[in-house]
Amino acid sequence: MNLESGFTKVIQFFTEWITRLFSANLMWLLFNLPVILLSVNVTFADNRQEITSIIVLLLMIAPFITFPATIALFAVVRRWAMDDITIPVFKSYIAYFKEHYKASIVAGFIIEIFWIIYAVDYYYFTSNISASLSLFFIILGVVFLMITLFFICSLVHYDLKIINLIKNAIIMIITNPFLTVSIGVFNLSIIYISFLYAPYLLLFFLGSSIAFVTFSGFYKIFRKVELMKNR
């Protein structure tokens, strides 16, 4: 009887978390629908000019759609990481989307400019200087990805100015390299698996699992810092 009860609790635990992750991921995808449709159109473009036009349009609308949607997702999983797992996902997601919308747009433009500079440098140095620099830029890209994700974590957790949020993200990564690398490996692995081997993960868990694992790591660092302050 106890064994059956324990097994039932395990099944219930996994079912609840699967539902939670799927619900949050679905909201993220729905709010990103215009960006997703435009991205799909790139594969059907007939020439380079059409591809360029779509990419420019994507860059124009991303700060108004993708970044607010992603920051709302991180705000929801933040509550889970802080052991508040009873919140209504759909209602909370919409509330956080509205609450952080203006700050998300500003953050979105900053992050986008940051990544455009990186992409231009990557293309220039690997095309005109040496193709062997690709590995360096790939590693640098992973570091930048973690800075971006920790910046978003900081935005939904702290009430600070943008420049201080960026500084906070960089300091956390530098002072916690092992945890940062672990989170980065997980994120890259699930992206790789989702796109190449399990496309259904895109629909069910990709965004929400990355957000939850990243913020959980971020929150672990935050609590460690707070404990050190209180000693």
Which residue do the tokens 């420049």 mark? 163
| Residues shown for the chain | 231
pLDDT of residue 43: 81
Q: What is the mean pLDDT of residues 194-198?
A: 86
**What are the φ and ψ backbone dihedral angles of 142, each rounded to 5 degrees?**
-65, -40
231 pLDDT tier (thresholds 50, 70, 90)? low
Q: How confident is the model at residue 230 (pLDDT cuts 50, 70, 90)?
A: low
**pLDDT at site 127:** 85
178-191 in b/e form (b: 16+ CB < 10 A) is ebbeebbeebeebe
Q: What is the pLDDT of residues 113-168, one digit of tens each?
A: 999 999 999 988 888 888 788 888 988 998 999 999 999 999 999 988 889 999 99
Per-residue confidence (pLDDT) for residue 4, from 0 to 100:
58
pLDDT at res. 48: 83
Minimum mean pLDDT range among 16-20, 30-34, 40-44: 40-44
Question: Nearest 10 degrees: CA dihedral of 28, 72, 225, 229?
Answer: -160
3-state secondary structure the chain: CHHHHHHHHHHHHHHHHHHHHHHHHHHHHHHCHHHHHHHHHHCCCCCHHHHHHHHHHHHHHHHHCHHHHHHHHHHHHHHHHCCCCCCCHHHHHHHHHHHCHHHHHHHHHHHHHHHHHHHHHHHHHHHHHCHHHHHHHHHHHHHHHHHHHHHHHHHHHCCCCHHHHHHHHHHHHHHCHHHHHHHHHHHHHHHHHHHHCCCHHHHHCHHHHHHHHHHHHHHHHHHHHHHHHHC
Q: Minimal CA–CA distance to 104: which of 52, 39, 167, 31?
A: 31
Quote the tokens at residue 11. 């099944």
Average model confidence (pLDDT) across the chain? 89
% of the chain with per-residue pLDDT over 90: 52
Residues 231, 39: Cα–Cα separation, whole Å: 50
pLDDT value of residue 226: 78
* Range from 22-26, 82-86, 183-187 that averages highest in pLDDT: 22-26
Tell me: pLDDT of 26 over 90. yes
**pTM for this predicted structure:** 0.91
For residues 93-111, give the mean pLDDT: 94
